[in-house]
Amino acid sequence: MSLVLVGTMAFDAIETPFGKADKVVGGAVVYAGLAASFLYDNVKLISVVGDDFGDNINIIKNRNIAIEGIEVITGGKSFFWSGKYHNDMNSRDTLATDLNVLADFDPKVPPSYQDCEYLLLGNLTPNVQMTVLNRLHKQPKLVVLDTMNYWMDVALDDLKEVLKRVDILTINDSEARQLSGEYSLVKAANKILDMGPRYLIIKKGEHGSLLFGEGQIFSAPALPLADVFDPTGAGDTFAGGFIGYLAKVKSINFSNMKNAIIYGAALASFCVEAFGTDRLQSLNDEEISDRIKEFVSLSKFDISE
Which residues of the chain form contacts with a copy of itself (CB under 8 A)?
A: 87-89, 183-187, 204, 206-208, 210, 216-222, 224-228, 255, 258-259, 261-262, 289, 292, 296-299, 301-303, 305
Nearer to a copy of itself, 138 or 300 (CB): 300
Minimum Å gap between C-beta 304 and a copy of itself is 9
Closer residue to a copy of itself (CB): 67 or 292? 292
| Nearest distance from C-beta of residue 92 to a copy of itself, angstroms | 15
Bridge partners (DSSP) of residue 82 are: 13, 96
Question: Which CB contacts under 8 angstroms, 24+ apart, belong to 244-249?
Answer: 244/3, 244/35, 244/36, 244/37, 244/38, 244/39, 244/40, 244/43, 245/39, 245/40, 246/118, 246/142, 247/3, 247/36, 247/39, 247/40, 247/42, 247/117, 247/118, 248/39, 248/40
C-alpha Rg value of the chain to the nearest Å: 18
**206: DSSP letter:** G
Task: Say whether 304 sits in a helix, a strand or coil.
Answer: coil
Nearest to 102 by CA among 132, 65, 70: 70
| Shortest spacing between CB 35 and a copy of itself, in angstroms | 17
- The closest alpha carbon to 119, from 135, 101, 105, 103, belongs to 135
Q: Which is nearer to a copy of itself, 55 or 227 (CB)?
A: 227
* Least spacing, CB of residue 34 vs a copy of itself, in Å: 20
Which is nearer to a copy of itself, 160 or 254 (by Cβ)?
Answer: 254
Q: How far is the CB of 220 from a copy of itself (least distance, A)?
A: 8
- Give me the helices (H) in the chain, please: 28-37, 58-61, 126-135, 149-154, 156-163, 173-180, 185-193, 234-249, 254-271, 278-282, 285-299
Q: Which is nearer to a copy of itself, 24 or 211 (CB)?
A: 211
CB of 153 or CB of 303, closer to a copy of itself: 303
In the complex, least distance from residue 302 CB atom to a copy of itself, rounded to whole angstroms: 7
Q: Looking at beta carbons only, is 127 or 190 nearer to a copy of itself?
A: 190
Nearer to a copy of itself, 21 or 223 (CB): 223
Phi, psi of 42 (to 5 degrees): -125, 70
Q: How many CB atoms lie within 10 A of CB 165?
A: 16
Spacing of C-alpha 79 from chain mean position: 17
| Least Cβ distance, residue 224 to a copy of itself (angstroms) | 5
CB of 258 to a copy of itself, least distance (A): 4
